[in-house]
Chains A and B, each alone.
Chain A
Amino acid sequence: MKEKLEQIKIAALREIESAVSTAQLNDIRVKYLGKSGEISLIMRDMANVPKEDRPAMGKLVNELRAAVEGALTEKTERLAFAEKQARLKEETLDITLPSGERGLGSLHPLTLVRRELIDIFSVMGFKVAEGPEIESDLYNFQLLNIPKDHPSRDMQDTFYVNENFVLRTQTSAMQARIMTTTQPPIRVVIPGKVYRSDDDASHSPIFNQFEGLAVDKHITMGDLQGCLTTFAKKIFSADTEVRLRPSYFPFTEPSVEVDVTCSMCHGEGCRVCKGTGWVEILGAGIVNPAVLDMCGIDSKTYSGFAFGFGIDRIAMIKYGIPNIKLLYENDMRFLAQFN
């Protein structure tokens, strides 16, 4: 009996030792430890062992069982580990292959710039408003100090629907709407489409403007400059400088053109700024008191500033887009470049 136990042990341990898979080990487990496995059978045979030998034999069988179980477990763990390693190795992927799952779309560059502008001005206390694109002559011109047949109408080539309605030539039209319906303090920006009958290599008959208006007590040209400097530094770069030049718009007085240092060459002079180091980006000024009065705001108490610029132009400068027409062509190969 003892020898038999010893033989089983040797055989079992040898088989365990030579096993190469967890599946084989399972078979071995069944063969020795299963319900009708060799060790189990011996346990059953214990009945034939003399009573006095039973404790010693029992101990031996238990030891055998423990030894085989121990070897099995240890070998199983080892093999399972090796097998897992092998499987993981086998599962190695070329992680530089494309996913084929890439499919995010993109916003139009005009939207990207518009959102950035709205963020910049929201923080400075400006609310966002939009207005009608088909606009009455009253708001687009007359309330902005541009009477009918006035030469300053020549500054803009207007699309007319009829004598009283136009496609708004400027987001300033919404300025008049806001001032006629709201009392100061007013601080609002107005992004939107505007229309000019100007269609050549460098003009689009539709483009997008961004208008700003602040009306309150004690609004000065200094506030205008501070506000525009903040904007220019944020939209272009922190080292951007702003320069005001006298100009003329019927609805502002004094009126200025605003130049910023060229974001391409940082003021050194390049092709974009035609060697001047400055790029003209917007028109602005102190709201003409006549406009305030026409819109029902007392110009003796209140003053304001207004500015307006082309979102298209900012987008072109920012992204280096060479031609405004590209913005409205919607070629997938163009649109895919912005995100």
Chain B
Amino acid sequence: MLAPISWLKDYVDINVSPETLAQKLVAIGFEVEQIIYQSKRVDGVKVGRIEHVEKHPNADRLRVTKINIGDRVLQVVTNVPVEGGETIAVAVDGARLADGHEIRRGELRGVLSEGMLCGLEEVGLTANDADGQKAGDILRFTPSTPLGTDALEALGYDDVILDVAVTANRPDCNSIYKLAKEVAVALGVRAREPHIAPEVEALSASKKGVVKVDVRNFELCPRYMAAGVKNVRICPSDELVKRRLRAVGIRPINSIVDITNYVLTEIGQPMHAFDRRDIQGDEIVVRNARDGEHIVTLDGKEHVLKEDMLVICDEARPLALAGIMGGLNSGVKQDTDAIIFEAAKFARDNVRRTSRALNQRSDSSARFEKGIDFASQELGLKRALTLVLEGGYGEMLGGVIDVHTEYQKERELPFEIRKLEDILGCEVPKNALVGILERLGIKVEEADGCLIAHVGEDREDIASVNDIAEEFIRVYGYEHIRPTLFEYASLTEGGVPKEIKAVDRIKDALVACGLREAVTYSFTSPAFADKLALSEDDERRNAVRLLNPIGEALSVMRTNLTHSMLETLSYNATHFVSHAELFEVARVYLPKSLPLTELPVEKEKIAIGMYGEYDFFKLKGVVENLLDAMNVADAEFVRSKEPFLHPGRGADLYIGGKKAGYLGEVHPDVAKAYGVDNFRVYVAELFADALTDPETRKTASFAPFTRFPVVERDLAVVVDEDVLANDILKAAAKADAENLSGYRVFDTYRSEQIGKGKKSVALRFYFANLDRTLTDGEVNAAMDKILASLESGVGAKIR
């Protein structure tokens, strides 16, 4: 809400600086986002009089002028054909123009110039913003304008405007009048009421005037007021009106249209003016549109209406989209002679829905969407009529029409001071309370030890004792509240549930592995599925889609983290980062059905991504460390078929027989699709809950260990190339050799001697007994058993 201070002053005396006023408004709940000094749009552009003009000695098209700016005379070289005696605008040395340009004194073709003559553009205005000034020309003023005045001030741009953020509970304060009332409360002074001409004040309303009004849907139009004006004079408005409208960003049009906008700004009541000639018959009908009915609005746009939209009609056709915009068929024209003003209350939600459905917005619809109270129609209409009569723009035609539902002018709200104190946690002195509420226009009376607040129709937001508490404290001051820490509340136990603790542990383990945590967006491009080469029936293609995404690139909720991880790796690789090692723990969104009819499953996943001096086993090492950190037992790596992994370098991780995720080198085609072709890229993605499932986690418990020497035996066997280390180890385990306490693969070797399609695998076995030192014979017997099992299990031959 833009509020020119000069306009506020119509309603309240303001004797403090704009900065102080802003602070006081903030303190009672009206945030001032900006204080706009109109004249400060430029700096150092002054009104001056041309005293003398002569030709430039070295340039035919330049003139050398002497300009009096009050306290001194400047020499300015210009190409503008000015004459002595003219009053113009000049930017002096050091001036800043609207476009930020600075003016400095200097020589022009050998002659000193101490400034520059300015036009509308230089001070940031257009011909619409200043009467009598021409675009492309310099600014010219009447001879009586004081020399040295700021040019913008001389053009009437001398106001200070507060840009106030009005909260949604106070729609009434989107008006100069109501905001002035709050200013009065903030300053501790009385506000004035809007000026209504006595002959207007004397008017009484009826259901019929120049026309009859028939409201057929009171739910969508609880009140419809109208009044006729004849002998209308369509002409430019006076300076003050134009200046004020411009100050709040409204372009002046003509006397009548300007009055509707003026009242909208001042009283907060949207108004519309119909040309009486265009209303066929003697009746205005407020009704729902018919399905498929057409209207062309004032801005020339054609709309096809639906039944739930409200229109203002004559006997034949719609004349206006209720609360949004008038029709082109019935607007005020240059030769309009009689008009009908409309000041109505339309249902907030319906205006909002219709405006959105038709994508048609206006100052009026914006105002209705915030909510209009019952008091504004009469005040707005009377104020408009006053402006018409006192401005000499027309005469009354047929009195004021008022059609409305029953409504409550005032509500009674009983409350106890003790309850206020309970809410606020501070003492509430009765005198202060009553005084503050009265200043806010809420009368308080006492009955049966209880207070009763009388709340007017303009304060629909006050519905409970909590609202009374807020009204009181925002004026009384929050500094009166004493900080306490649950003085009278129960003791509660804080803390973190085990799922969150587990995620913390996962993150800490990955940090210990040298990874840095990333946080990426939860929505992504639907192109992810093709980039990852997912098959057509891959479930990960079923992503929740947003109705109104920022763009296609952020339009679906992700079903995997790998895509975001690859994008992040790609970002770093293309930003000159030589290596990256990252992880992310975040949710994926898995719909149970599409379109969504119930909440999707949101599952926490872990993504790991690396490029640089890495290979598959570095990545596997990270995953194994993570499994160890989480005490996961029963994990197995199986060759993966994920389409985005290198076919020979990808593994699926199974925990407790269930797939928990995958890891591997990214397929070169996929890496390239993500824009990385100079690095090998490694990625893993795991379900967090697979690592925290109590079923597959081992808990620490003591196991005895031998105090006797451990015997180590190495064995190299030759097997077929496609036999996996895991297969060999499983075969070794099958031997069930006695005293075997551990075994591992420690080397793999290929050579011509061994033969094509074969490899030699070196194994180390450890033997131990809790009670004694083992003999060679015992160990040999065990090794024989193992070798036999390797021969039969994986066709191993001893080397």
Chain A residues with a Cβ under 8 A of chain B: 103-108, 110-111, 115, 118, 121-130, 132-136, 148-152, 154-155, 159-162, 164-165, 167, 185, 187, 193, 195, 197, 199, 205-206, 214, 216-223, 225-227, 229-230, 242-248, 250, 253-257, 286, 288-290, 303, 327-333, 335-336
Contacts and interface: CB of A to CB of B under 8 A. Distances in A.
Contact of A332 (B370, B513, B580): B580
Nearest to B517: A108
A108 B518 CA distance: 6
Contacts of B487: 218, 220, 222-223
A165 B482 CA distance: 41
Given A105-B513, A286-B423, A122 B353 contact: no
A154 B168 contact: yes
Nearest to B349: A149
B514 A246 contact: no
Interface in B538-573: 544-550, 554, 557, 568, 571-572
Contact of A126 (B483, B494, B523): B494
Contact of B485 (A115, A126, A128, A226): A226
Interface of A: prevailing SS: mixed
A185 B548 contact: no
Nearest to B30: A246
26 contacts: A105-B517, A106-B511, A111-B507, A122-B495, A127-B493, A134-B557, A134-B596, A151-B168, A154-B369, A161-B546, A197-B548, A197-B550, A205-B554, A214-B486, A220-B423, A221-B423, A221-B424, A221-B481, A225-B425, A226-B483, A230-B485, A242-B483, A247-B29, A253-B466, A328-B520, A330-B582
B28 to A, nearest CB: 6
Contact of A219 (B473, B489, B491, B510): B489
Nearest to B472: A254
Interface residues of B, number: 91
Contact of B422 (A160, A218, A332): A218
Given A134-B544, A217-B488, A289-B466, A152 B483 contact: no
B510 to A, nearest CB: 6
Given A107-B507, A128-B496, A165-B596, A226 B516 contact: no
Nearest to A189: B494
B40 to A, nearest CB: 17
A136 B599 CA distance: 7
A332 B572 contact: yes
A160 B504 CA distance: 31
Contacts of B352: 149, 151
By Cβ-Cβ distance, the 6 closest A-B pairs, closest first, are: A222-B425, A220-B425, A246-B29, A254-B470, A248-B167, A246-B474
A121 B494 contact: yes
Interface in B557-607: 557, 568, 571-572, 575, 577, 579-583, 587, 589, 595-596, 599-600, 602
A125 B599 CA distance: 30
Contacts of B579: 332
Contacts of A206: 521-523
Contacts of B27: 245-246
Nearest to B515: A105
Contacts of A165: 596, 599
B484 A226 contact: yes
A220 B490 contact: no
Contacts of A154: 168, 369
A132 to B, nearest CB: 6
B577 A331 contact: yes
> Taking each of A118, A129, A193, A247, which has the highest tally of chain B beta carbons within 10 Å of its own beta carbon?
A247
B602 A330 contact: no
A189 to B, nearest CB: 8
A127 B500 CA distance: 11
B375 interface: no
Instruction: With a 10 A CB-CB cut-off, give which of B423, B473, B568, B579 has the most chain A CB atoms.
Output: B423
Nearest to A312: B519
Given A243-B478, A246-B470, A227 B557 contact: no
Contacts of B26: 245
Given A160-B548, A253-B464, A217 B577 contact: no
A226 B426 CA distance: 13
Nearest to A304: B489
Contact of B483 (A111, A187, A222): A222
Interface of B: 26-29, 31, 167-171, 348-349, 352-353, 369-371, 422-426, 463-464, 466-467, 469-470, 473-474, 478, 481-497, 500, 504, 507, 510-523, 544-550, 554, 557, 568, 571-572, 575, 577, 579-583, 587, 589, 595-596, 599-600, 602
B518 A125 contact: no
A161 B596 contact: yes
A105 to B, nearest CB: 4
Contacts of B511: 104-107
Contacts, number: 266
Nearest to A157: B548
A127 B572 contact: no
Contacts of A247: 29, 31, 167
Contacts of A220: 422-425, 484, 487
Contacts of B467: 253-254
B152 to A, nearest CB: 25
A244 B490 CA distance: 25
A133 to B, nearest CB: 6
A121 B424 CA distance: 22
Contact of B547 (A135, A161, A195, A286): A161
B348 A151 contact: yes
Nearest to A103: B514
Contact of A151 (B171, B473, B483): B171
A162 B596 contact: yes
Identify the interface centre among A133, A205, A222: most chain B CB within 10 Å of its CB: A222
Contacts of B582: 330, 332, 335
A271 B423 CA distance: 36
B602 A160 contact: no
Most buried by A among B422, B466, B550: B466
A253 B485 CA distance: 20
Contacts of A327: 519
A308 to B, nearest CB: 16
Given A160-B548, A222-B483, 7 more contacts: A106-B511, A122-B496, A128-B494, A135-B599, A155-B168, A187-B492, A217-B488
Nearest to B510: A105
Contact of A218 (B464, B478, B488, B602): B488
Contacts of B369: 151, 154
Nearest to B583: A105
Given A132-B599, A330-B582, A105 B516 contact: yes
A254 B492 contact: no
B672 to A, nearest CB: 21
B28 A246 contact: yes
A125 B705 CA distance: 45
Given A214-B486, A220-B425, A149 B28 contact: no
A85 B14 CA distance: 89
A127 B497 contact: yes
A226 B489 CA distance: 13
A125 B485 CA distance: 11
Given A197-B548, A253-B464, A125 B512 contact: no
Given A161-B544, A227-B485, A331-B577, A248 B491 contact: no
Nearest to B589: A134
Contact of A159 (B169, B348, B548): B548
A46 B583 CA distance: 84
A106 B582 CA distance: 9
A149 B348 contact: yes
Nearest to B486: A223
A255 to B, nearest CB: 7
Contact of B168 (A129, A218, A250): A250
Contact of B550 (A205, A225, A335): A205
A243 B477 CA distance: 11
B405 to A, nearest CB: 20
